[in-house]
Amino acid sequence: MATVVGQLRQVVREHSRRFERSIPLIASENLLSPYAKELLISDLHSRYAEGLPGERYYEGNEDVDRVENLCLDLARRLFRCSFADVRPISGTVANLAVLKALAEPGDLVGTSRLADGAHISSASFGAFGVRGVRPVYYAWDEEAMTIDVARTREILRAVRPKLCLFGLSVFLFPMPLADLAPTLEAIGARGWYDAAHVLGLIAGGEFQDPLREGCEILSASTHKTLPGPQHGLLVGEPKDEETVKRLQAGAFPGVTSNHHLHAMAALAVSFAEHLAFGREYARRTVENARALASALHERGFEVLGERLGFTASHTLAVRVEREGGGSEVARRLSEAGIIANKNLLPGDRSPKSPGGVRLGTPEVTRVGMGAKEMVRIAELFDALLHQGRPAAEVREEAAVLKAGFTGLRYCFGAGEAAYRYYDLVGRDPS
């Protein structure tokens, strides 16, 4: 068995080296700060807690209560709200908690289609199916890559869903919440926002403010534009105490037991860091996304959302049917040291053979890249996919570019000398 452990350590080292030499453009990934990572591997990992602070079902939770209360306070400060629950252990689990609290099996719930950018949790094979709710799909403006407000108003008035979910996995532009809020009020529907992708942008004042624009509750994962651990979150302004209790019960015992105390502690660090650095980080993340979108467009790539400036977030969507389709392009990019993912785009039929790739700038921004590097990345795309240069050559150029960015930014203790973020774990002592 010792041999197996050695093999595992070696594989993880190889993984770290792969990403240290690659350009990471997955929109749903980010890097954890050193102080957050320290708490992630603390003794909290070995402990158990159920319930709320002061109301635990286990002993030995005095310090856990202090950590959780700090995390809750930081969440409320960051999102300027009265309610927070940090017990969901992922974004999908947070979504399940909302569904458990605010919907019953058979209820109608408004959402977007997967091909229009929705997350799989709103599909029949995802959290919607688990809870047994029925989706009502919004009308979509493919050119603007957002909800068609006029047609969606008609749909909502005709069908009258109980709950309306706003949020996407390909999240280019803010949701038209203020425009739809009067309709939701008229039909008695509650507004719910899945902020998983844009959580850090919202907290940094760089996207939109769902809790002030018509949504009662916001659910999210915490490791995308908010660079925290893989965990979940609920925040909001519930309309009454009964809703608070239902949301808390939805989280526990509804969809969680122990809520991964080590990740919760790391999340508290990430909240504190975002309060300190989040505005600048969010601004630069969006600037980089727009710079990359423009540079790709100038080199002949079909970047969606052109009418509104390609993106107002960390994400851009590129239709690559001319370059071989989403699956083939994502594979070729990976061979060339550029990590992205295939993605459904409006009009696509098969998630296995989509027409697009999704790109994101959270991680390249986190390591300090700027507009100049976004142009260089677009040049690498062009060299590989339009000029036909070998993947091995492009991979070496990608590694050279990445070599200049090995330190973390926008966190406590940031900088080249302070922290090398692609830590080769399990290194033998010298």
| Full set of structural domains in the chain with CATH | 35-270 (3.40.640.10)
Query: How many angstroms separate the CA atoms of 306 and 183, rounded?
Result: 29
CB-count burial class (<10 Å; 0-12, 13-18, 19+) for 167: buried
Residue 376 DSSP label? H
Q: Give SS3 for 132.
A: coil
Q: Give SS3 for 323.
A: coil
Tell me how many degrees the CA angle 222-223-227 measures, rounded to the nearest 5. 100
Strand 190-194 to 232-236 pairing? unpaired
Residue pLDDT, tens place only, 303-355: 999 999 999 999 999 999 999 999 999 999 999 999 999 999 988 888 888 99
- Rg over alpha carbons for the chain, rounded to the nearest Å, is 22
Residue pLDDT, tens place only, 58-115: 999 999 999 999 999 999 999 999 999 999 999 999 999 999 999 999 999 999 999 9
Residue 125, both tokens: 């094979």
Sequential pLDDT tens for the chain (430 residues):
779 999 999 999 999 999 999 999 999 999 999 999 999 999 999 999 999 999 999 999 999 999 999 999 999 999 999 999 999 999 999 999 999 999 999 999 999 999 998 999 988 899 999 999 999 999 999 888 999 999 999 999 999 999 999 999 999 999 999 999 999 999 999 999 999 999 999 999 999 999 999 999 999 999 999 999 999 999 999 999 999 999 999 999 999 999 999 999 999 999 999 999 999 999 999 999 999 999 999 999 999 999 999 999 999 999 999 999 999 999 999 999 999 999 999 888 888 889 999 999 999 999 999 999 999 999 999 999 999 999 999 999 999 999 999 889 999 987 643 345 555 433 333 3
Cα-to-chain-centroid distance, residue 247? 21
CB-CB contact of 228 with 222 (8 Å): yes
